[in-house]
Structure 1
Amino acid sequence: MRRLTTSLATTAVAALVGVGLASTPAQAVPADKAQVLASWTQTSASSYNAWYSARLNQSAWSAYAFDWSTDYCSSSPDNPWGFPFKNACARHDFGYRNYKAMGTFSANKSRLDSAFYEDLKRVCNNYSGATKTACDSTAWTYYQAVKLLG
């Protein structure tokens, strides 16, 4: 009888726990998700820096359910001719994926593409002379590609 009582008690507790979990509402995404997303997808260096800092500490932003996935520069080189465009491509993916998920991509695409171009130009500002000219030309090409095909 003792085994039966223990077994029934264990089953009852498991059932109650299951009911409790089923009735607990899912955690809502913070109300300011759109504002945070907008702040990380502007054309300024400070916007890029804020996004990059958050990217390095994604767990702190987990409640927002952002899509941090990236394929970097897709089928184009991430570092063409040695120019490190990889992080600019990652931020561009971040903007595209999250605005698409929110259903507001069309209204934000132009700004996302402009932010991408500004990020690329900031990379190019680390060079001078013919190297900077080559970088700027490559940045323009990448920008035109996402503007037309993105």
Structure 2
Amino acid sequence: MRRRSIFGMSVATSAAAVLALAAPANAATKLQLMSDWSQTSSSSSSAFHSARANQGSYAQYGFDWGTDKCSSSPDNPFGFPFENSCIRHDFGYRNYKAEGQFDANKSRIDSAFYEDLKRVCNGYSGATKTSCNATAWTYYQAVSIFGISAADAPRYADKVPAAVAEAH
């Protein structure tokens, strides 16, 4: 009996090893990568910026790496370096829209943006940190409320006042 048990385990282990070797090395889907890169954690942000620096490794996915950084707002307001946070935010918006998954992910993308901004602010102390956090909150509120394009405004008419949709 002991041999069967060991033999059975050996067969199962061998089968698992064969399956693992047969799996493609790059099994991640486009949506999995987008999800991995749009979480609120610092590791998600780091993974995104690493991928952005190595865009060629992800060419098969057809990501839109384009960015206007912080749009019409300063990229580094009052000297606070928010530019990279805006770049990751743009990536999330552009790519989830292209995949038709924007509505389901907008809130998380905006939350990740806010967490990125707060991590920038954690590098300061005292009144400077307070000022940075207030600026981060303002940027977050702007994208949370106004973070849609003019073309998308009709879909959000019930969530955004008409005057805002027209101005955006």
TM score, norm. by length of structure 2: 0.71
Partner residue in 2 for 1:60? 57
Quick one: higher RCO (CA 8 Å, sep 6+), 1 or 2?
1
Task: Count residues in correspondence.
Answer: 121
Partner residue in 2 for 1:112? 109
> Which amino acid in 2 is paired with 1:142?
Y
Q: 2:139 aligns with which of 134, 137, 142?
A: 142
What whole-Å deviation, never above 9, does each CA across 1:51-90 have from its counterpart, x for those lacking one?
0000011011111110000000000000000000000000
What whole-Å deviation, never above 9, does each CA across 1:16-73 have from its counterpart, x for those lacking one?
xxxxxxxxxxxxxx76111011000000000000000000110111111100000000
Measure, in 2, the Cα distance between the counterparts of 1:70 and 1:32: 22
Structure 1 unaligned spans of 5+: 1-29
CA shift for structure 1 position 131: 0.3
Measure, in 1, the Cα distance between the counterparts of 2:113 and 2:91: 11
Measure, in 2, the Cα distance between the counterparts of 1:81 and 1:74: 16
Partner residue in 2 for 1:81? 78
Q: After TM superposition, list the pairs within 5 Å mapping 1:23-38 onto structure 2.
A: 32-38=29-35
> Which amino acid in 1 is paired with 2:62?
A
Task: Tell me the percent identity.
Answer: 69
Partner residue in 2 for 1:103? 100
Secondary structure at the counterpart of residue 72 of structure 1 = coil
> Which amino acid in 2 is paired with 1:134?
S
User: Displaced runs of 4+ in structure 1, greater than 3 A?
Assistant: none
- Return the index of the structure with the highest Cα Rg: 1
Query: What is the alpha-carbon root mean square deviation over aligned residues?
Result: 0.9
Q: 1:41 aligns with which of 28, 31, 38?
A: 38
> Which amino acid in 2 is paired with 1:112?
I
Q: 2:125 matched to 1:128?
A: yes
Q: 2:68 aligns with which of 64, 67, 71?
A: 71
Secondary structure at the counterpart of residue 95 of structure 1 = helix
Partner residue in 2 for 1:4? none
Partner residue in 2 for 1:50? 47
Structure 2 unaligned spans of 5+: 1-26, 148-168
Q: 2:81 matched to 1:92?
A: no
Measure, in 1, the Cα distance between the counterparts of 2:64 and 2:144: 21
TM score, norm. by length of structure 1: 0.79
